[in-house]
Chains A and B, each alone.
Chain A
């Protein structure tokens, strides 16, 4: 587990959600969830399938409109902001089911976010270039996620493991302050999973991370704090050791995995 320095823990949270509620007909996916993410923190969200984890990420990102509740990023209310506006304020996410740009090279996949950040996507006459400063920034991101040798390859023909790496690279291309990771280990083998944990550990710190993950080894290796969601409600939240020791937790959830 990484050490989180005390000053950071005491600092104002980067991301604060209060009373987030989302209903689908009779089903309450999120029932008044309070959630926060501090600077430099990895905050894992765990719980059984259908517990509301992905709905929570969707609401934080702006893809799902909450029925009630508020979300603030770096002190500013972002509840009413659309996805692209939140991204430009420093929020990024990855998806549980791989979501890249098929038909575009790995380099071009990363270039979209870099151009959006530089606000050059609306240029309509000069050719879109992937060289120069933008190319260097893209190459640096691909090096970080371990895709250096694959920059010219169509994203559609990458292996599943490589697509999961590209998924992270695309999220990093927007230079986020807060990164929401939705099951980054989904479908990965043991070795690939281990490399993904190393990758997440290497980007954590400067980027605060909300980690939704089923792999408990990964969660306990990475998380500074863990929140447990069951039936759309927070049943426990705290340091990993406390969560591991919580008898309610052991019976409710961890019992299945440990």
Chain B
């Protein structure tokens, strides 16, 4: 990993942490709101990067796993308020397990295909879960639902404020650490090696399929955790969280930042959220500017931001 990549990652974390006193002193609650959104989306992007980046599989339905996390919080808050099930200590592992399990199942089916077919089938599964969420009349159907009971954490909760913010940043740090450990382990080197040459990986005795399902599970679990935080952050849960456009946005973050690099998803999420913020302040048609801008970056720097900063192979 190049020094510039490490420096930028460190700088981003310093900014994320310095935002707390800055927001309190200057009375800028919106700053924390924006940066928390950044941290949560970056966590989901770190999850997607395991599959899309390191394993080299064009998965375009990951918003569904974020949605599973969000709906876990919303449904438990509606059905079992005031019980153990609205505790963050229960919801986070439960959402991670559910999203990881669904991701593993979807992965197991999707991985029977390759290339464009794989892309389409992951997209289709994402859409299936989107329409499943729309069909949940009891939980607001198309309109979604307001989160009536935020995830409890001791005496406090994850809804808003400094604690919620700090936890989102801490979860991002943990997600990055998990990604770091996974991808330098034998499991991770198999995933990366299979992306480089799948046939050869089979021919040295590694059943690649299983490892990729494992990557899907880990990836889905991280997205599910991001979903729990997102539901608390916006205090609102709707099928829009699972929309295919959200999946594409996550993929754009990964590609923009540098697919298959440790900090790429963080860089991509930061660039995405901040650009969106700046451009949407200038014009409501900000996407007209944003789209071509992304295109330029991808064409000019196939390795994304991390690539521009000088990346060694496989880091």
The interface of chain A, by Cβ under 8 A from chain B, is 61, 63, 82-85, 87-88, 92-93, 95, 99-104, 108, 111-113, 115-117, 120-128, 154, 170, 173-174
Q: How far is the CA of A63 from the CA of B193 in the complex (A)?
A: 19
Check A101–B196 contact: CB distance below 8 A: yes
Contacts A82-B207, A112-B201, A113-B204; A154 near B313 (Cβ below 8 A): yes
**6 further A-B pairs in the complex, CB-CB below 8 A; given A83-B203, A112-B204, A124-B181:** A82-B202, A82-B207, A100-B200, A104-B189, A121-B190, A127-B185
Contacts A93-B203, A100-B197, A170-B200; A124 near B187 (Cβ below 8 A): yes
| CB of B150 within 8 Å of the partner chain | no
B residues near A120, Cβ cutoff 8 Å: 186
Question: In the assembled complex, how far is the CB of residue A243 from the closest CB belonging to chain B, in whole angstroms?
Answer: 29
| CB of B47 within 8 Å of the partner chain | no
Q: How far is the CA of A123 from the CA of B181 in the complex (A)?
A: 11
A residues near B204, Cβ cutoff 8 Å: 87, 92, 112-113, 116, 170, 173-174
8 A Cβ contacts from B165-209 to A:
181-182, 184-190, 192-193, 196-197, 199-208
| CB of B314 within 8 Å of the partner chain | yes
Q: What 7 A-B pairs are tightest by C-beta distance, nearest first? A: A87-B205, A116-B205, A124-B187, A113-B204, A84-B207, A83-B202, A128-B186
Contact with A along B207-218 (1 / 0, CB 8 A): 110110010000
Looking at B189, B201, B203, B206, the one whose CB has the most chain A CB atoms below 10 A away is: B203
Contacts A112-B190, A122-B211, A174-B205; A101 near B185 (Cβ below 8 A): no
Question: In the assembled complex, how far is the CB of residue B96 from the closest CB belonging to chain A, in whole angstroms?
Answer: 16
Q: How far is the CA of A4 from the CA of B201 in the complex (A)?
A: 33
8 A Cβ contacts from B37-71 to A:
none
Contacts A93-B203, A113-B204, A173-B204; A102 near B187 (Cβ below 8 A): no
Check B186–A121 contact: CB distance below 8 A: yes
Q: Interface extent on B, as a size class?
A: 20 to 34
Check A116–B206 contact: CB distance below 8 A: yes
Question: In the assembled complex, how far is the CB of residue B138 from the closest CB belonging to chain A, in whole angstroms?
Answer: 38
Check B187–A87 contact: CB distance below 8 A: no
Q: How far is the CA of A22 from the CA of B114 in the complex (A)?
A: 23
Residue from B185, B193, B206, B207 in contact with A124 in the complex, judged by beta carbons closer than 8 Å:
B185
B residues near A84, Cβ cutoff 8 Å: 202, 205-208
Closest to B208 in A: A84
CB-defined A-B contacts under 8 Å, sample of 28: A82-B207, A83-B202, A87-B204, A87-B205, A93-B203, A99-B197, A99-B199, A99-B200, A101-B196, A103-B192, A103-B196, A103-B313, A112-B193, A112-B206, A116-B204, A116-B206, A121-B190, A121-B211, A122-B187, A122-B211, A122-B214, A124-B186, A124-B214, A125-B181, A125-B185, A128-B186, A170-B200, A173-B204
Looking at B197, B204, B211, the one whose CB has the most chain A CB atoms below 10 A away is: B204
Residue from B181, B196, B199, B210 in contact with A102 in the complex, judged by beta carbons closer than 8 Å:
B196
Question: In the assembled complex, how far is the CB of residue A126 from the closest CB belonging to chain B, in whole angstroms?
Answer: 6
A residues near B206, Cβ cutoff 8 Å: 84, 112, 116, 121
B residues near A112, Cβ cutoff 8 Å: 189-190, 193, 201, 204, 206
Contacts A116-B206, A122-B211; A108 near B189 (Cβ below 8 A): yes
B residues near A174, Cβ cutoff 8 Å: 204-205
Contacts A82-B207, A103-B313; A128 near B200 (Cβ below 8 A): no
Closest to A113 in B: B204
Contacts A121-B206, A154-B313; A101 near B200 (Cβ below 8 A): yes
Looking at B182, B189, B210, B314, the one whose CB has the most chain A CB atoms below 10 A away is: B189
Check B186–A115 contact: CB distance below 8 A: yes
B residues near A125, Cβ cutoff 8 Å: 181-182, 185
A residues near B202, Cβ cutoff 8 Å: 63, 82-84, 87
Question: In the assembled complex, how far is the CB of residue B315 from the closest CB belonging to chain A, in whole angstroms?
Answer: 11
B residues near A128, Cβ cutoff 8 Å: 184-186, 188-189
Check A101–B190 contact: CB distance below 8 A: no
Q: How far is the CA of A95 from the CA of B203 in the complex (A)?
A: 10
Check A124–B197 contact: CB distance below 8 A: no
Q: How far is the CA of A101 from the CA of B199 in the complex (A)?
A: 10
Closest to A88 in B: B205
Contacts A84-B207, A112-B204; A104 near B196 (Cβ below 8 A): yes
B residues near A104, Cβ cutoff 8 Å: 189, 192-193, 196, 313-314
